[in-house]
Structure 1
Amino acid sequence: MGEPVLERRVHSVLTAARDTGIDARRMRKLLADAGWVRPAGEGREDAWELFDAVAAAPFLRSLGEGVSALELQERLGISRSQFDLLRKDGYLPPTLAGPDHKPLWDIQAGRAFIDSLLAGAKPIYLQLHDWSSIAMAATRLKVRPAEIIRLIEARRLTRVGRHVDRDGYDAVLVDVAEVERLLDRPKAKGLTIELFARQVGLRPTAAMRLVRAGHIPTTMGTNPKTKAAQRYLSPADVAAFHARFVTLRRLAALLGLSWQALNVQLGDAGIAPATPDGQDVGALYEWDAVEAGFCCRWPRAANVEQDERGRR
């Protein structure tokens, strides 16, 4: 009527389909599921089924940006198995879902989810044994990835890393030992082998070799979450280990020295790391060798004095 229309105010199903490049039948289903129009067969024909173009603009824009589950996994670096587990636990819901069409995801929302996990993360240039991806940590600890993610979201994990050579979900790294300490396992029989290794300063693989060879005693128990049989170190097992072995880190703490200075002094004294069954297990020493040629534990020194008094 003589007034210029500079912005579209009303869309029909047909014009919305044309503007977004989506098939008109699928567009009708998407709009009907979102409540913008009536389903096919209940309203007018597509060319005359109208809705507010301005109010629906964000919705239509999201349709153009929506991606399939496969594309979302590829662009966020999430494996299909991890994606399925996260979906079951309520993470990464689709932006659009309905019985008559494939679900679509907002890639920006997916990236925001990953960014939230990496907030404040420490850059990791070389992934040593302390760090593990969420997927690997969940596998090793026999828990669901969502349990680890909830710890990150609650800011209970103090060690969260970002692998600088990776992108997306796989770039999120956690300290497995810290995760295990924070998991709710009130019925655990003691420390797991991996957690024990972290605490005393051994490589987990070395600790496992020592356990298998019988040099570190363990106790069988049931994992309270998975119900699987699992080896733990009870307080008595830990005490037995410390009675026979001492790590370089622990001995340095006992003597008030840096481990670098102590390593030099032990070498000068001819004290070599223990090699049970000829295996290299790292900076681990037997107390018998340390006490014979370097220093003595106070409890042992007291026992020696008592023995000498008894002989007198």
Structure 2
Amino acid sequence: MREAMGATLRKLMALEDEGLLIPRTRIAKIKNPWRVSDGTAFVAELLTGAVPVGEGDNNWETLLLARKRTGVGLSDLIQAVREEQISVGQRMGGTGFHGIVVQNSQVDLLAPLRPKPSIPNEVLSPGEISAAEFGRTVGLRDHGNFIALVKAGQTPALQHMHPRTKRVQYRLSAEDISSFHRRFVTLTTLIEETGYHRNTLKTLLAAARVNRFSPDGHDFGPVYLREESVKALK
């Protein structure tokens, strides 16, 4: 995983701590708890549109250095990248996550101008994950698909105001996650549950005429009803 992403173990753990990289298991004995596909997709997403940056250009810094220097969390930095509030560069000579850099001056604009009052623990919603991040963990790379599923009332989620950006986000509790898995599957979750190859699963689902979940023609991406899918795989 570290080689695939171009990241040290410390960086992987930092991403996990902020809910940006979700391990496939919490079993301590597993040496590589993260999915390689999640890590490489995460890096590829951040590098989309990245500009080349010279090795000696001090106007750019890595995400972890930006966090350490300004106190802006990794999750906030990544969100700013996704919303195109800050630019992304790829350091020449650097590969993968280690080569991803952001502009110092743009990060400074995200940093709080003065200390902010502490936020009560209940507002931080511990143990929850954003809808966009959860969507990626189940193979829905277009985060709009999963959020559309939530907005349509097909799977539960909690509306949550981000404490810094003040933007409304959807977040999932452990029960919300369980509720999704009880009703739906994706190719990613089926691979984990059955061990079958992706192409094998596609063939079996097609043979049983199991279609994507699309009530009234709404497209939520590659999401299937669990009940129909499980029958097709027996």
Query: Over alpha carbons, which structure has the higher Rg?
Result: 1
**TM-score (ref. length: structure 1):** 0.38
**TM-score (ref. length: structure 2):** 0.50
